[in-house]
Amino acid sequence: MESIMDYLKREGAAFDEEMARAIPKERKPWEVYGIIWEHLSLGGKRLRPVMCKLSCEAVGGKGKSVLGIGAAIELFHNFSLLHDDIEDCSEVRRGEPCMYKKYGIPLAINAGDGLFMNVWQEILDSGLPPERIVEVQRVLNNAFMRVLEGQAVELNWYRESRLDISEDEYMGMIAGKTGALISASCGVGALIGGASAEQGKALSDFGMAVGLAFQIQDDVLNLVGKEEKYGKEIGGDISEGKRSLITIRALSRASGRQRERLSEILLARTKDQKEIAEAIAICRETGAIDYAAGKAKDMVGKAKEGIMVLPNNEASRRLLQLADFFIYREV
């Protein structure tokens, strides 16, 4: 069996082609579509559309039937990234300056809006029967709302300078911001593939669990990964003052002075590399990084158990392989 990275690259290319069909690269004005394609061309693993396709195939459906829906999901994901970079004051996306850093906030927001408009057009053009399109729109609209709500909760933590966030609050936030779209990707794929109610629920639950694990592992990599592989600045979550499972755990386990220093650094949203390194050291010394990595592994283990109700075919085996990739990846 080929490596998961090679598989993602091969399968992701079909969704890149579909996105180029939906939004031609030469489309005008450049101020919208040029920026969209500069952002899309930064890459990405196309995890969500690939999981949509695998979920469809795992229950006996034809993968080609979800190309348009998978592309729509990827367009929405990239719309959210364009706006998230602005809201989070991020500097780098996939190793390159964020679009708003290059072209300004107004044009980046507008390009994100352009992506969002094309999401719905792509769903309408998917070739599915009208009644199925309505079902798909209902599932995806619910997921899109949950992404919006999760982002709002997190942004308000920053607005209120809150650090007294519980682990349950954090998990609820990422269930919206990250988990909901991956869950819907699997759920929609299952729906189009003709899944039973049991299979559909199993795949939606699987998507949510690996989505949460993916976010937690992303937070781990942000502090201990290698920048040339990770594609974002190491320690960027500290300079953004991000409330992650790691910092929440560290604040709850730290000594008085450690807690004070970590709080100061997070609230300062500093770019000082010495202070960022100090915060990472506190997270490491309190065991918070190991705790988060362990939790992600536990979640993936349970997620894999949950899809044992699926037929034993290549697609279901790929889903299991992908779940492991989520927690053992370096990118």
Tens-place pLDDT, residues 291-322: 999 999 999 999 999 999 999 999 999 999 99
Residue 232 scores a pLDDT above 70: no
pLDDT at 229: 55
Q: 164: which residues sit within 8 A by CB, 6+ positions away?
A: none
pLDDT range class, residue 228, cuts 50, 70, 90:
low
Pick from 159-163, 234-238, 297-301: least confident = 234-238
**pLDDT tens-digit readout, 118-146:** 999 999 999 999 999 999 999 999 999 99
What residues form DSSP beta bridges with 97?
92
- The Cα–Cα gap between 251 and 328 comes to 26
Give the mean model confidence (pLDDT) for residues 171-183: 97
pLDDT at 148: 97
**pLDDT tens-digit readout, 58-106:** 999 999 999 999 999 999 999 999 999 999 888 888 889 999 999 999 9
**pLDDT tens-digit readout, 46-66:** 999 999 999 999 999 999 999
Topology (CATH level 3) of domain 4-328:
Farnesyl Diphosphate Synthase (1.10.600)
- The Cα–Cα gap between 129 and 124 comes to 10
What is the percent of the chain with per-residue pLDDT over 90, rounded to a whole number?
A: 87
| 8 Å CB contact between 233 and 227 | yes
Query: Quick one: how far is CA 133 from the chain centroid?
Result: 24
Enumerate helices (H) and strands (E) in the chain, giving the number of each.
17, 2
What's the token pair of residue 218? 């992303």
Q: 98: which residues sit within 8 A by CB, 6+ positions away?
A: 85, 86, 90, 91, 92, 108
For all residues of the chain together, what is the average pLDDT? 94
Residue 171 three-state SS? helix
What residues form DSSP beta bridges with 296?
none
Question: Could you tell me the residue ranges of all domains in the chain?
Answer: 4-328
Pick from 202-206, 222-226, 275-279: least confident = 222-226
pLDDT at 227: 59
How many of the other CB atoms lie within 10 Å of CB of 17?
Answer: 12
| 8 Å CB contact between 216 and 320 | no
